[in-house]
Amino acid sequence: MKTWVDKEKCIGCSLCSALVPDVFELEEDGKARAKVEKVPENLEKLVEQAKDMCPVFAIIVEKD
Ligand code: SF4
């Protein structure tokens, strides 16, 4: 699974970085980014949750 953040949409609420800190982080511009290109298998469910919970649907998930 791959994931990334659409910075145009992200409002920097920090939900994703709080929920899955090993995958998402907030950058200096106040917006989130994915730290890893490929999501570790044990974090896939959490990344799906973050995607569903993001208030502006800025998290994109691409399944293998
Ligand atoms: S949950 Fe969505 S809006 Fe909030 S920081 Fe993450 S990508 Fe940005």
| Ligand 1 probe mutation, 3, 5, 27, 53, most atoms within 8 A of CB | 5
Q: Which residue is it, tokens 């511009």?
A: 29
Q: pLDDT digit string (tens) for 29-63?
A: 999 999 998 999 999 999 999 999 999 999 999 99
Question: Distances from the Cα of 25 to the Cαs of 37, 44, 64, in angstroms?
Answer: 13, 16, 23
Query: Is the pLDDT at 28 greater than 90, yes or no?
Result: yes
| Ligand 1 probe mutation, 17, 49, 54, 60, most atoms within 8 A of CB | 54
| Torsion of Cα atoms, 7 then 38 then 53 then 24, to 10° | -60
Q: Looking at the domain covering 2-62, what would its CATH class be?
A: alpha beta
Q: Is the CB of 19 under 6 A from ligand 1?
A: no
pLDDT of residue 51: 98
pLDDT of residue 37: 86
* Domain limits, the chain: 2-62
pLDDT of residue 61: 98
pLDDT of residue 31: 98
